[in-house]
């Protein structure tokens, strides 16, 4: 009887060892640069596993191998077959078509090109006539795949994949349009621990904390991923990576100008149990986000916009107020930075249509809220150029950064003495590093028509509460009102400008001076303007006729 039991035990199929073929898989999946003992593969492409069996060899007539792939508590189960023709929308596994070794069979596991990004676990179940036995195989990281045609981040040219996914160093541009300064930066996505930290960043996001199941499922979409990362690079709403500081006092941290790479920042963040690293400014925020996106497999590049507008009220106009002596007046929160740095990421936009696929603006520097949190984008560059400010995400804000009009107003005792409009100052030069070269590549024409290409119009149409039509003409001031809130007597709270031209209807743009109603000479008109500011309401009807 004992001899019989020994014989039966020998007949049982057992897994002695599973070889995840790290070296070969990393080469075929373009992940060989990652300093990780974990298998790192890209979605939409098969990866190889070799089994070493014990007891007896694999018998396809009596034995079944079943895999379970887990992302958190979500999982997919599928058998190993002899057919490569699995469904492109499902996980599958198949034996090597030729030369199956029963004692050490090799097989391939294939993921859909729309799989969620993250750290997965593999379990293997052996089903025989003697029952079922399970094995924990190990973990693997699944990334986006810019080499896969079916992936939403597929980018068609190898030199672009090499530069915007694989390259771990580059140049950031600063200074002025006429005097560009380049700053070397190490993106460090292949440094030890960095990929693990980038994946952990997704785990500590508020989205994952609120609904882990939805977060895991949504990670299939690079649009969703990019918005999560954009918010997590700053710490305004979450356990983000960096704290911004524009006041100049960096005693309790590192001055932004001292950082030269992303690895030190990300490691310090992880080591501190996800407390924000002090300090960052726009180029640091953007460079760290570029690191995370490249690590996740999404093609990314750092962009510098010179004379970058910050439109705080969404009217696509930067208002600057001056006294008659030239002193700048604090009536507007709008500003123009000598340069600002953000990220472009490459992806499709099925939510908007194929016409808006390609490069998308993402800005992790905390400026304005988007969907209630401090993030920005993805905003299609094509939509920015076409002034499609009705589309998602944050296109009015980015459009203003590169193409806002600058309205300069001279004021004396609440009366507007003169105003002028500059249509060329904002977004005067937009650059990134040229592929394979230290020279800057001029991208200005991607964001807006260049001189001579088309006549610039000053019509900005969007779906905000206020739709602004701005065409500057010589005007007469009819009335001037200052509005004061009940909590700030004597403080200018808000206002509006009303104006009309022969080509456009009346509209208004925010200004902190009161309601300025402007009627052009020689024009018949009749209109009513209404403005509510806190507890103050203004209403007037004005009419005029040809003089």
The DSSP secondary-structure symbol of 327 reads: P
pLDDT at residue number 454: 56
Are 486 and 404 part of one and the same domain?
A: no
User: Which CATH number is 118's domain given?
Assistant: 2.60.40.10
| Angle in degrees, CA 290, 295, 296, rounded to 5 | 100
Q: Which residues of the chain have pLDDT under 50?
A: 4, 8-9, 455-547
Do residues 287 and 345 both lie within one domain? yes
Catalytic residue from among 363, 394, 405, 510: 363
462: in domain: no
pLDDT at residue 84, rounded to an integer = 86
Residue 75 CB partners (closer than 8 Å, separation 6+) = 68, 69
pLDDT at 214: 98
> 266 with 173, same domain?
yes
- Domain boundary among the residues 86, 110, 143 is at 143
- pLDDT at position 10 is 54
Report pLDDT digits (tens) over 398-451: 999 999 999 999 999 889 999 999 999 999 999 999 999 999 999 999 999 987
Please state, in angstroms and as integers, the Cα–Cα distance from residue 240 to each residue in 105, 150, 261, 324, 481, following that order.
45, 32, 17, 45, 44
Same domain? For 110 and 31 the reply is yes
Closest to 367 (Cα-Cα) out of 389, 329, 397: 397
Q: Which distant-in-sequence residues (6+ apart) come within 8 Å of 428 by Cβ?
A: 177, 306, 307, 444
What distance in Å separates the CA atoms of residue 450 and residue 428, rounded to the nearest whole number?
A: 10
| 177 and 312 part of one domain | yes
Q: Is residue 152 part of a domain?
A: no
Model pLDDT, residue 87: 82
Q: Which residues contact 465 (CB under 8 A, 6 or more apart)?
A: none
Which of 236, 217, 379 has its CA nearest to residue 305?
A: 379
Per the annotation, the verdict on 151 as an active-site residue is no
How far apart are alpha carbons 274 and 296 in whole angstroms? 19
| Cβ–Cβ under 8 Å, residues 440 and 352 | no
Instruction: Kindly name the residue from 340, 468, 470, 499 that is annotated as catalytic.
Output: 340
Query: Tell me, what's the pLDDT at 130?
Result: 85
One domain, residues 413 and 442: yes
pLDDT of residue 383: 98
Please choose, from the candidates 303, 315, 283, 359, the residue with its C-alpha nearest in 3D space to the C-alpha of residue 466: 315
Q: Is residue 223 part of a domain?
A: yes
- Written in H, E and C, the secondary structure of 357-397 is CEEEEECCCCCCEECCEECCCCEEHHHHHCCCCCCCCCHHH
Burial code of 327-350, b = ≥16 C-beta within 10 A, e = fewer?
Answer: eeeebbebebeebbbbbbbbbbbe
Catalytic one among 198, 282, 290, 375? 282
428, 528: one domain: no
**Within this chain, do residues 241 and 216 fall inside the same structural domain, yes or no?**
yes
The domain containing residue 482 runs over which residues? 476-544
Same domain for 384 and 244, yes or no, is: yes
- Distances from the Cα of 400 to the Cαs of 22, 331, 394, 443, 545, in angstroms? 47, 19, 10, 16, 35
- Predicted local distance difference test score (pLDDT) of residue 30: 98
Q: Measure Cα distances from 465 to 158, 317, 374, 462, 468 in Å.
A: 44, 15, 21, 9, 10
CA distances from 253 to 20, 249, 259, 276, 278 (A): 42, 9, 11, 10, 5
pLDDT of residue 544: 34
Q: Are residues 425 and 520 in the same domain?
A: no
Q: Counting Cβ atoms within 10 Å, is residue 157 exposed (0-12), middle (13-18) or buried (19+)? A: exposed
- Region of residue 377 (left: phi > 0; alpha: psi -120 to 50; beta: else): left
Dihedral sign of CA atoms 238, 240, 245, 246 in order? negative
Count structural domains, the chain. 3
Instruction: Give the CATH number of the domain where residue 279 resides.
Output: 3.90.260.10
Question: Is 282 an annotated catalytic residue?
Answer: yes
pLDDT of residue 33: 94
Residue pair 287/187 in contact (Cβ under 8 Å)? The answer is yes
**441 and 495 co-located in one domain:** no
Alpha-carbon distance of 178 to 151, in angstroms, equals: 40
């Amino acid at each position: 009887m004992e001899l019989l039991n020994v014989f039966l035990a020998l007949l049982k199929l057992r897994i002695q060892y599973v070889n995840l073929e790290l070296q070969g898989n990393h080469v075929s999946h373009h992940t060989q640069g990652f300093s990780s003992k974990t298998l790192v593969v890209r979605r939409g492409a098969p990866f190889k596993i070799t089994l070493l069996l014990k007891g007896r060899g694999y018998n396809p007539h009596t034995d079944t191998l079943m895999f379970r792939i887990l992302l958190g508590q979500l999982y997919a189960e599928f058998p190993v077959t002899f057919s490569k023709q699995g469904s492109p929308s499902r996980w599958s596994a198949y034996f090597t078509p030729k030369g199956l070794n029963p004692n050490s069979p090799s097989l391939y596991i294939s993921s859909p090109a729309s799989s969620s990004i993250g750290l997965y676990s593999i379990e293997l179940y052996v089903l025989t006539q003697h029952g079922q036995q399970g094995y924990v195989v190990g973990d693997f990281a699944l990334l986006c795949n810019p080499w896969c045609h079916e992936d939403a981040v597929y980018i068609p040219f190898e030199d672009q994949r090499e530069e915007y996914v694989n390259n771990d160093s580059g140049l950031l541009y600063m200074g002025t349009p006429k005097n560009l300064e380049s700053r070397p930066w190490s993106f460090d996505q292949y440094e030890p621990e960095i990929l693990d930290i980038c994946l952990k960043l997704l785990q500590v996001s508020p989205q994952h904390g609120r609904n882990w199941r939805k977060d895991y499922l949504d990670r299939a979409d690079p649009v969703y991923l990019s918005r999560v990362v954009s918010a997590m690079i700053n710490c305004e709403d979450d356990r983000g990576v960096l704290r911004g500081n524009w006041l100049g006092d960096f005693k309790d941290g590192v001055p932004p100008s001292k950082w030269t790479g992303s690895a030190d920042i990300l490691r310090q963040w992880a080591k501190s149990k996800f407390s924000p690293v002090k300090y960052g400014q726009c180029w640091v925020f953007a460079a760290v986000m570029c690191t995370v996106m490249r690590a996740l497999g999404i093609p990314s590049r750092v962009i510098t916009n010179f004379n970058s507008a910050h439109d705080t009220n969404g009217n696509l106009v930067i208002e600057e107020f001056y006294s008659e002596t030239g002193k700048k007046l604090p009536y507007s929160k709008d500003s123009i930075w000598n340069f600002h740095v953000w990220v472009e990421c490459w992806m499709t936009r099925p939510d908007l249509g194929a016409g808006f696929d390609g490069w998308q603006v993402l800005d992790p520097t905390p400026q304005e809220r988007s969907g209630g949190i401090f993030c920005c984008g993805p905003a299609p560059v094509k939509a920015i150029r076409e002034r499609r400010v009705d589309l998602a995400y944050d296109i009015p804000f980015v459009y203003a950064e590169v193409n806002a009009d600058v309205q300069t107003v001279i004021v004396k005792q609440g009366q507007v003495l003169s105003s002028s409009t500059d249509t060329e100052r904002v977004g005067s030069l937009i650059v990134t590093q040229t592929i394979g070269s230290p020279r800057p590549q001029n991208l200005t024409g991607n964001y807006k028509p260049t001189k001579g290409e088309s006549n610039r119009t000053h019509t900005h149409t969007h779906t905000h509460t206020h739709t602004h039509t701005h065409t500057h003409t010589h005007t007469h001031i009819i009335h001037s009102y200052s509005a004061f809130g009940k909590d700030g007597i004597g403080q200018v709270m808000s206002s509006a400008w009303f104006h009309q031209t022969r080509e456009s209807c009346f509209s208004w743009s925010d200004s902190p001076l009161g309601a300025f109603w402007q009627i052009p000479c020689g024009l018949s008109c009749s209109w009513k303007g209404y403005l509510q500011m806190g507890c103050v309401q203004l209403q007037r009807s004005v009419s005029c006729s040809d003089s």
